[in-house]
Structure 1
């Protein structure tokens, strides 16, 4: 969801900047703007002295400007951190029992989860994705099931076998999982 919002916001901001910048450039180069446009000629300024100082004497003006700019800054920083934040867990802390611990690559654990889940009866394809913190990982598993498989049975086998093995082998107290089950769609074939 965040990826879609990110792309839409980036596209809208880019489109607005392109339209406004291109039109200001076109007016500056001498093209005649439409009657509704804010600039009349290439000698026109973006904000006149009267427009810039219109609200300066009002007591609410500067706090409103500062609050609006602070809000824009906070929203921009939130968006930037959401874009730059890592989505995938790169390593998991494994409890070795000796008080030291070890680090396990997240991709390795994902690969084992995927492989073991794909071997379950009726699973056409599996995909695992680790998120969370190294001390408390979470996983998202997607299973593509064959048409004949009962989803409840497949979910039970996944939790009791693949997820239990991953949790026990990494020495984790718990491994919360979000599981998405979808059915495989096969093309109809003519039988003669």
Structure 2
């Protein structure tokens, strides 16, 4: 869902920027633009001389403009790097022992890991995501704990059961995991 929202927003922003830049170019080349367009001729400017002179005496104006533009550039670069980064591991390379390898779907291993983590006592819900390289994956597991659960015991059981079985079934020497724990929100009970 997040990927779809991201693409729709990106498409709308791209369309708006394309239309605005096309209208600015059309006005700059002297082509007809709609009457409501603020810059209609070749010699129109975005900021008039009087507007520039108005802000010229304000010492804070240009540093603020430069800081805001720098922040926008940094946010755009951060967003671009976030788009290029693959969050999930699509497949895990399993060594079959005969010199051949088999590919295990990452989503299948994630589902098995999350399913077995939910069988641990005190865990209400679990989610697992595989990251890293396909020969050396690492797991990110989110556990939603019941109010009565003991976090340390749940972690020990998760490592001893679910993570151990995932390591063994994929033929991995190790499967490092980052586990995030949250508790189920519940109402306080009245004591009478």
Aligned equivalents of 1:125, 1:190: Cα separation in 2:
26
Aligned to 2:103: 103
Aligned to 1:171: 171
Aligned equivalents of 2:109, 2:46: Cα separation in 1:
57
Aligned to 1:28: 39
Aligned equivalents of 1:131, 1:152: Cα separation in 2:
24
Aligned equivalents of 1:114, 1:123: Cα separation in 2:
11
Work out whether residues 167 and 175 of structure 2, in 8 Å CA contact, stay in contact via their aligned partners in 1: yes
1:121-140 alignment runs, 5 A limit? 121-140=121-140
- Structure 1 residues 57-100: Cα deviation after superposition (integer angstroms, max 9, x where no partner): xxxxxxxxxxxxxxx7xx97775353133211000001111110
TM-score with structure 2 length normalisation?
0.62
How far does residue 186 in structure 1 lie from its aligned partner after superposition? 2.2
SS in 2 for 1:138: strand
Change (3 A) 1:123 1:77: closer
Aligned to 1:148: 148
For the aligned residue pairs, the C-alpha RMSD in angstroms reads: 3.7
Aligned equivalents of 2:140, 2:81: Cα separation in 1:
22
Aligned to 1:88: 88
Consecutive unaligned residues of structure 1, counting only runs of 5 or more, are 30-40, 48-71
How far does residue 42 in structure 1 lie from its aligned partner after superposition? 7.4
Change (3 A) 1:28 1:85: same
How far does residue 152 in structure 1 lie from its aligned partner after superposition? 0.3
Work out whether residues 27 and 42 of structure 1, in 8 Å CA contact, stay in contact via their aligned partners in 2: no
Aligned equivalents of 2:123, 2:76: Cα separation in 1:
43
Aligned equivalents of 2:126, 2:82: Cα separation in 1:
27
- Structure 1 residues 94-129: Cα deviation after superposition (integer angstroms, max 9, x where no partner): 111111010000000001001100011111000000
TM-score with structure 1 length normalisation?
0.62
Change (3 A) 1:28 1:166: same
SS in 1 for 2:108: helix
Aligned to 2:120: 120
Aligned equivalents of 1:145, 1:102: Cα separation in 2:
35
